[in-house]
Amino acid sequence: MRNVTAILRRELAGYFFTPVAYVFLVIFLWLAGWFTLFLGQLYERRQADLEPFFTFVPWLYLFLLPAIAMRLWSEERRNGTIELLMTLPVSIGQAVTGKFLAAWLFAGCALVLTLPLVITVNYLGDPDNGVILAGYLGAFLMAGGYLAIGACISSVTKNQVIAFVLAVVACLLLMLAGFKPVMDLVPERWAIVTEALAAIGLLTHFESISKGVVDLRDVLYFLTLIAFCLFANAVILEQKKAD
């Protein structure tokens, strides 16, 4: 636990030592606001909810979160600090967990900073704050899923650009699996394929949570995704930490 905290703190501070954190936060908040207010027509809809925000968040995450995850391990490899980290009395599991939690916490901070949107709809009308809270929970879980995928991929290469692109593609595939227009492409008699896609698709699970139905299965889906990716991350590091 002590080691996980030490690594988490170092990693989190690392975001703020460099411009990464500030660029990310500004772009994320600006895009989130713009998507919600203008593209999502929050005012014109005359409905006090944050549906427009939660519709766009998965797409915003798709491009922004891999940028947060790409440095986690690629940077260690490029700097050679992986040799230092792996010869300190820290287990691979602790290092993987600490780094992931730092990125997840950072994504959580970005999410908390969108609170003015919640205040806005509460000022304008009388929204169901339970649904909004569920939406935030879903968004946070989804961020964890994306980041775990990104962290795992960044452990494969020392090139951050490659890590970024591969992570975006992996997240996109997982997202598209549960995207309605894609599922509609599958002929109707292959209902089993549609069901399978919906089961592994990120969006299906996110949408059901963000509608206000916090089903344990959806939560478990994200937690399983995170656990699986982090496990793969640890195995990859164990196998090829010195390459």
Partner 1 sequence: MIEIKNLSKRFGSFVAVDDVSFQVGRGEVLGFLGPNGAGKSTTMKMATGFLAPSSGEVRICGLDMLGDPMRAKEKIGYVPEGAPAYPDMTPQEFLEFVGSVRGLAGDAKRARVEEVMKLVHLESHRHRPIEKLSKGFKRRVGLAQAILHDPEVLIMDEPTDGLDPNQKHEVRKLIKSMAPNKAIVLSTHILEEVKAVCTRVIIVNRGKIVFDGTPADFEARAPRGTSEPAMDVVFRSLTTSDAAKA
By the criterion CB under 8 A, which residues form the site for partner 1?
Answer: 2-3, 5-7, 9-10, 13-14, 17-18, 79-81, 83-84, 86-91, 241-242
> Minimum distance from CB of 29 to partner 1 (Å)?
23
Closer to partner 1 at the Cβ: 7 or 57? 7
> Minimum distance from CB of 18 to partner 1 (Å)?
5
Closer to partner 1 at the Cβ: 197 or 234? 234
Which residue intervals of the chain are DSSP H helices? 2-17, 20-34, 42-45, 51-69, 71-79, 81-87, 92-112, 115-124, 129-154, 160-176, 180-183, 191-200, 202-210, 216-240
Region of 107 please: left (phi>0), alpha (psi -120 to 50) or beta: alpha
* Interatomic CA distance for residues 67 and 160, integer angstroms: 9
> Minimum distance from CB of 227 to partner 1 (Å)?
22
> Minimum distance from CB of 8 to partner 1 (Å)?
11
b/e for 38-57, b at 16 or more Cβ within 10 A?
A: eebebeeeeebbbbbbbebb
Closer to partner 1 at the Cβ: 20 or 172? 20
Closer to partner 1 at the Cβ: 7 or 226? 7
